[in-house]
Amino acid sequence: MSHLPGYARLVELAEQRLALLEDGRVAEAVEVGKEQFRVMEELPFEPPAEAEPFLNRLVELWSAAADQLQVAAGKVAYEIGILRRNRPALLAYVAAPERAGSVDRRG
């Protein structure tokens, strides 16, 4: 039984995942990653020699995906830092509690 279509599918999914990460679509990339794991579960523990080109391509794609995830993590850390530094200003936008028995223009 040839498992080469499974390795080809892994490469296809890795390409999709990388494209999603490059577009900043991390949640969708996670779903594609889950599909990759499902495909991997179907493959033999020891890959056949014929799978080597697919495996080499997977190493390239997964390395690029890891780089994209680091970029995304850096962006999130930066944005969290902005929120922490601007917390007092953000709190000013929180609605004040309503006063009981307040009077409006109508009296």
**Is there a domain that residue 96 lies in?**
no
Q: Dump the DSSP string for 13-37.
A: HHHHHHHHHHTT-HHHHHHHHHHHH
Domain that holds residue 29: 4-91
Residue 88: the pLDDT is: 73
Predicted structure pTM score: 0.72
The answer to whether 104 touches 54, Cβ cutoff 8 Å, is no
Q: Is the dihedral of CA 25, 31, 37, 43 positive or negative?
A: negative
Q: Is the pLDDT assigned to residue 96 strictly greater than 60? A: no
Number of domains in the chain: 1
Query: Would you say residue 106 lies in a domain?
Result: no
Q: How far is CA 101 from CA 23, 55, 90, 105, in A?
A: 52, 71, 28, 13
**Which pLDDT score, from 0 to 100, does residue 3 have?**
84
Give pLDDT, residue 37: 96
Q: How far is CA 47 from CA 14, 59, 80, in A?
A: 18, 14, 42
- pLDDT tens-digit map of 21-70: 999 999 999 999 999 999 999 999 999 999 999 999 999 999 999 999 99
